[in-house]
Structure 1
Amino acid sequence: MVVGGLLGRIVGHMVQYMALKYAGSGIFSNCPADGNPEACVVPGVYALVAAGATMCGVTRLSVTLAIILFELTGSLDHVLPFSIAVLVSKWTADALEPLSIYDLLTDMNSYPFLDNKVRPVFTTELGDITQRPRPERVIDISNSPLVHAKELRQKLEYLHMAGELDGGLPIIRESILVGLIPAPDLEFALDKLGSEDSSLCLMSMQTRWNGLEDETTDTVDLTDFTPYIDPAPVALAVHSPMDLVYECFVKLGLRYICVLRDGQYAGMVSPPSSPWKFLAY
């Protein structure tokens, strides 16, 4: 809007100069030659019209921008030029590029986004896009609920390198999904540790009942990560239809869905940047 306002202001001053130079003739016949420069042409109105038109061409907002411009002026006299400029700008922008700047940035950065206006047709099941889980993408507490902080940091860096800044690490015990810790929460918890080399992190919420907290020693800094763990992440069976998976991502706004096969952890899927393909791991 600032860029559009500056360009509109420049055009307004140019028209104002023409009105003063050719006052009393042509389209400026009603403009006084020695009167107030803004008596006939107001550059501020040109700035507002251009600001709204530029903003609409970039973001494809139409009615919202017209209302914003009306609220800025508080006058009904300029609603018609605002509306005409916004509509013409939107039609012109749609003819040149159907996507707005937000859609283009989403595709360029491969952000996980599914448009609810697009409804693809699926003929597969969730298990068809789910790959076998890899050790660097899960936290296995089968042997002990205590996990080295350095190992958690390596798994977190692996997620960051894969571009999954808002992903998560599932926690499994004997191939059974027992929880999930989001990557932002895990990073926050690890940053609070004094020394990751000698720290063990508690990743099980059942240790207080089993008495496993006695495994700590004087030389080990044990940190309780259980407050950051989601004990019941959203999970679907491998035979779930893709229509259900798509609805979960679109309507619930999920960042990931765990996949189960006969009650055991089988992988995780996250929403892609395009509704026609899914990122699976």
Structure 2
Amino acid sequence: VKRLRDQLQTLVGPGDADGGFPILRQDEDGERMVGYIGASELEHGLSIVADDADGTVYFNSQKRTGFGEISSSSISSLTTADGGAAAIDPFDFSVYMDQAPLTVQVNSPLEVVQQFFVKLGARYVVVLDSDGYYEGVIDKKIWLAFLGELEEKSS
């Protein structure tokens, strides 16, 4: 919890409060992205577990319950057999994570990225290589700065 809080402060400090962090899983060939958590979502999750600074946060995308495996996005509507609410682990931050972020391949035309930001209103776009491994994230603020630089160079 403490380490994540420090990383969040590093991100928010320079004015990137609308940024976030990729959630990566290492496999034999590289890092695969399993999701993305925005700074505000991370801040909310950390506020819930703030009293346990030494606790361990995790980003499992699947939960094991008496009902079988369910995705974390359906946990909020889960109830137990007796009608009570199922217990949710406050250290499981997968409920705050975007598990299906918009992605482009590294060799995609920049026009595709522009369309994601303009037509779909994306806050960020994840860049993957041709094998689906994580390469980086383009935040909207960074994209707009890039477009501004291109405009300056062309005039």
How far did 1:206 drift? 2.5
| Structure 2 partner of 1:150 | 2
What does the per-residue CA deviation read over 1:75-113, in whole Å, with 9 as the maximum and x for residues that have no partner? xxxxxxxxxxxxxxxxxxxxxxxxxxxxxxxxxxxxxxx
What does the per-residue CA deviation read over 1:19-49, in whole Å, with 9 as the maximum and x for residues that have no partner? xxxxxxxxxxxxxxxxxxxxxxxxxxxxxxx
| Structure 2 partner of 1:173 | 25
* Pair 1:267 & 2:136 matched: yes
> What secondary structure sits across from 1:245 in the alignment?
helix
> What secondary structure sits across from 2:91 in the alignment?
strand
The answer to whether the Cα contact below 8 Å between 1:238 and 1:260 also exists between their aligned partners in 2 is yes
Instruction: State the AA in 2 paired with 1:242.
Output: L
| Structure 2 partner of 1:239 | 107
| Structure 2 partner of 1:248 | 116
Same amino acid, percent of matched pairs: 38
Distance 1:264 1:277, change over 3 A: farther
Give runs of aligned pairs for residues 87-126 of structure 1, distance below 5 A: none
Query: Unaligned regions of 5+ residues in structure 2, if any?
Result: 70-88, 151-155
Q: Which whole-Å CA distance do the structure 2 matches of 1:198 and 1:270 have between them?
A: 30
Q: RMSD value over aligned CA atoms?
A: 2.0
The structure, 1 or 2, with the larger RCO (C-alpha pairs under 8 Å, 6+ apart) is 2
> How many pairs align?
119
| Structure 2 partner of 1:199 | 55
> What secondary structure sits across from 1:204 in the alignment?
coil
The answer to whether the Cα contact below 8 Å between 1:179 and 1:233 also exists between their aligned partners in 2 is yes
Q: Which whole-Å CA distance do the structure 2 matches of 1:246 and 1:276 have between them?
A: 13
TM-score by length of 2: 0.69
> What secondary structure sits across from 2:123 in the alignment?
coil
